[in-house]
Structure 1
């Protein structure tokens, strides 16, 4: 059997076993829209990813897209096929001969399945968050009156990003804007948004704005992610969301600090805060200026009145002081005269007494001097020399004992009429020893 025969036989067996149309549930991934109008993607188990994940190739040919688009339109525009969306689709299983690949040729879709699954997940996540007390946690954070450091998380260079920047730049240029790029749609969007949120918190901003443009409800599936919702709810920084839709709320809308319809509305709310603050500052400046002028006028009047009162008080005080000074001067002059007279008498008395005391003191000192002279005369060593006494000295001083000299020492003996120099030949230490033997 040929290769074509094998693949044809397998396709026939698949049609016989599954029928003309088989309905399969899964999550869209790797969706691509070809220039020729065909659409290709893979179906995987919801939440599965990584190598070895079972997948089924799906082709939606352009002549089958009209029926699919009609079904989607009937869903009110809430449905859009994109990566990460859970779907239930119908088609024929076949083997694509060019690559011998099992694929589903899609011909129909069940929008109610997708919307129902999303609604179910939405209700489940909200219930869990409410039970854990996370639903209103971020809403309880206070927003700075003037957030000067704002992080915007979006797909940079997108229309939502441009709208936000344009609106913010119209009225306020003082804000420091931290722009963080993130996926806002598809399987990778929840993780990308959580990472961006963490970066914004690390940058110590005053406010975080998560914005994206409008689209179908399925385009916003990332914002129903439970882990993203937890990250927003527990963020220490207030988070504002502007996700470009009015009729539906995502879980992110329910847990954020404040929800807005569009990215432009978020920026407008910021600029309104800034404008209100500027107006408040202008009013405060005007009030301060007017109050200052009024206070200055009042102060000038008060100074003038106080100056006048002070001048009168000084004049009265000077007059009183002048009179008091004249009275005091007269009293002092009179008392000074009396004091001078008394002082002159006291000085004369003290002068006489001092003269008498000086004479008596001089007499006493003269008598003491005569007594000292008589004593000195009586003890003059010359009188002792006249009676035969002598004084013997060595080079070190007077000789007072035999122990103070040694044989060979030179002695100098002073007499009444001269000096005798001699040398020691012998020293006798016996008491009462005679110098002659």
Structure 2
């Protein structure tokens, strides 16, 4: 019998190769889906993995949920439970069996709760409520408040974390139920009371993990509004990393776990100590650098500054030089003046006879000069007296004493002619001993 596939031997698969190819096809074509069904054949293996079958009225499929995912489920499954799983399809290669790998699991009916959750989330988001929560917690708070139930592992984890990270923080616990019908109302009232008291810097709203029904009290609209309007920053740490509630979105910060919320609420004392040491070292180095620079500048300036003693010494040396120079100049001038004085004295002694002769001559000349001066003064006095006599003779006042007079108009002008006056004009006549005022009646020629 002829084999038609001999022409293409590359198309021949091994069983394992075929299973791997089918597994890749399943993983690529069917990524992550929600599947609803009834649980049967539920088994917990020694490894901690869960194995069970999901079925409906027509078909069934095998499901595996690995230990890391199964540990997050608080309520154990049992046969007959109606559940919904979020899974990806895969093929168990060694057996060639198709199965689902479950990542999330919830009881059937939670889908309706999830729809209510999404509707409320969209409503509050469109209102901008989630944007109101923008208060940043203090990096180093003085006190931290914890809202949770007293008998929870979440509270113990938070207290251990705070005592380890921030022993300097005062812790105030506000016991409140975190599950049940009235839990949301109790939490709401507690937040309002804490805001009125204002005794803490940061609030932690924490709870351990659980199903969607267990965490449903944190999806209350009134609680979300109170959280968003809180004047104290609120950090939520509700459930596990995969759990989201409306309270998480309304809070200022959302932590994946209660322990993470405690870590976000305060700074680690080890980090603070290291930062303080770092800044102390930085400050010390900066101060040391500044001091060294100052000393270096001081050294440079000290080399530029000349000591006053050096200046004084230089000035004293200059004074001594000037004193010696002055003394030398004085001695030279004194010697020069003394030599000139001696020369003058010698000259005077040598010319003593000439001096006496010149003195007699000077006496004779001075006597002659005196006589000439006296004669000149006498002749000048005679000339002056003659001139004075002439002036006296021509003085107008002397003529008035002889009976003459001077006629003037009211302006003081001398009348020299008869035609210079007119009838009725006032005139003034000067005599030797006074004045006469008169009026012209008429004037005529000689």
Larger radius of gyration: 2
**Which structure is richer in relative contact order (CA contacts within 8 A, separation 6 or more)?**
1
Query: Could you state the TM-score of these two structures normalised by the residue count of structure 1?
Result: 0.46
